[in-house]
Every structure is written in C-alpha cells, then in structure tokens.
Amino acid sequence: MAHLAYVSLGSNVGDREKNLRSAIQALRLIGRVRSISSFYETEPVEFTKQPEFLNCVVALETPSTPAHLLHQLLDIEKAMGRQRIQKKGPRTIDLDVVLFGDVAINTPEVIIPHPAMHQRRFVLEPLAEIAPEARHPILKKTVGELLKQLPEGQSVRRIEAKSNAG
C-alpha cells in the first residue's frame, strides 16, 4: 500500500540547486514524486553563522514504512556526501519527513510529524504551496493555518516557480 509523505529538502553547501535536484532524482528511485514546490532561499535557523539555504518540499508516494523511509533518506544524504559534523550546521543535503499521511509517531528512532515543522517558515511555505490542506495530525490544523499563525521573521524568498513532478 502506498503512503503519501512530505519530505523537506535543504542545502547550503556547494551547488545548492544541483544538490536539491540530485536529491529529488534519488527520491524518484524510492517512490513516486507527486509534486515539487518552488525553490526558496532561506536564512539559517538556530545556528545562524552559515550560508543561506535553498529549500523545497516534495510530495512522495511511497510503499515504505515511516522508519524505512527515514533510513532511505539517510542513505541518500550519505551518498550525497552529508557529514554530520556540527548539529544544525552547514550541509550538502538535509532530508526530513515532515508528514507521513495522518500518522503520528514518537519513538527514539522516528518522530513524525517533524517536531519543529509548525515553527519553521522554510518548511511551511513550500509545503503550503503544494499541500495547503494537509493536516498536522497532532495540532489538528492545516499547513495553511499553521503558516498564517507564524510570527514575522525567518526570511523565505521564492526563487524559482514550482517544478513539475514529471
């Protein structure tokens, strides 16, 4: 049975656009990419002394379980050269499952929905572009509602119109 997951992608090392496009191609090997948001340039959050990020969100139809999908994403990150040297530090690619259907999971290995997604404009803005009615299974609000509730701040600038899932 296929599940609809939303995966947030970010890169701030090297050719950020190429990194996102390579990660999207890798996602096509593990599921069906149903839609891709525009690319957004965003300020780093938490650890701010690093280059700006390029972010997007992909709707991925996957036969995987949440835990298996997480492992697949970690494998993609590793294959693309991600090194976990500094928490929240610069990275070639960052892949996070932000939503997985209407599932809520909180185990030592997997936390879905992403615990900070509702506080991050760099996740909510691209997610709202492709799935404004997707619902946070714990907060019981749509992505559009969560985005409207965010306080000002967190610069997010769309730099490329929405891609085709193709």
Residue 91 appears among annotated catalytic residues: yes
What is the pLDDT at residue 46?
A: 63
Q: How far is CA 127 from the centre of its chain?
A: 8
DSSP alpha helices (H): ranges in 29-158? 66-79, 121-130, 143-149
pLDDT tens column, 64-95: 999 999 999 999 999 988 666 656 667 789 99
Report the C-alpha gap between 92 and 115 in whole angstroms: 22
HSE-up (13 A, CA, CB side) for residue 119: 5
The model's pLDDT over 40-67, given as tens digits with 9 standing for 90+, comes to 998 767 655 668 889 999 999 999 999 9
Q: pLDDT above 90 covers what percent of the chain? A: 71
Give, to the nearest 10 degrees, the angle between helix 66-79 and helix 16-28.
Answer: 140
Whether the per-residue pLDDT at 164 is higher than 60: the answer is no
* Residue 151 pLDDT level (bands cut at 50, 70, 90): confident
Catalytic (active site) residue 102: no
* Alpha-carbon gap, residue 90 to 52, rounded angstroms: 9
- pLDDT at residue 51, as a whole number: 82
Angle ∠(143,145,146) on CA atoms, nearest 5: 65
Question: Concatenated DSSP letters for 129-156?
Answer: HH-TT-B-TTT--BHHHHHHHSPS-S-E
Q: How many CB atoms lie under 10 A from the CB of residue 85?
A: 8
* Per-residue pLDDT, 134: 97
Among 1.10.1740.10, 3.30.750.24, 3.20.20.80, 3.30.70.560, name the CATH number for the domain at 3-160: 3.30.70.560
Is 135 among the residues known to form the active site? no
More confident residue, 22 or 43: 22
- Provide the pLDDT confidence category of residue 142 given band limits of 50, 70 and 90: very high
Joined together, the tokens standing for residue 45 give 């959050």
47: three-class secondary structure by DSSP: coil
Say whether pLDDT at 37 is over 60.
yes
**In the chain, what are the domain boundaries?**
3-160
Q: Choose the catalytic residue: 34, 75, 84, 94.
A: 94
User: Would you state the structure tokens that stand for residue 93, as one six-digit string?
Assistant: 């690619």
Active site residue 75: no
Q: Report the range of poorest mean pLDDT among 21-30, 46-55, 104-113.
A: 46-55
Q: Which of 16, 91, 120, 121 is catalytic?
A: 91
Active-site hit among 82, 84, 135, 157: 82
* Average of per-residue pLDDT values in the chain: 89
Catalytic residue among 96, 135, 157, 158: 96
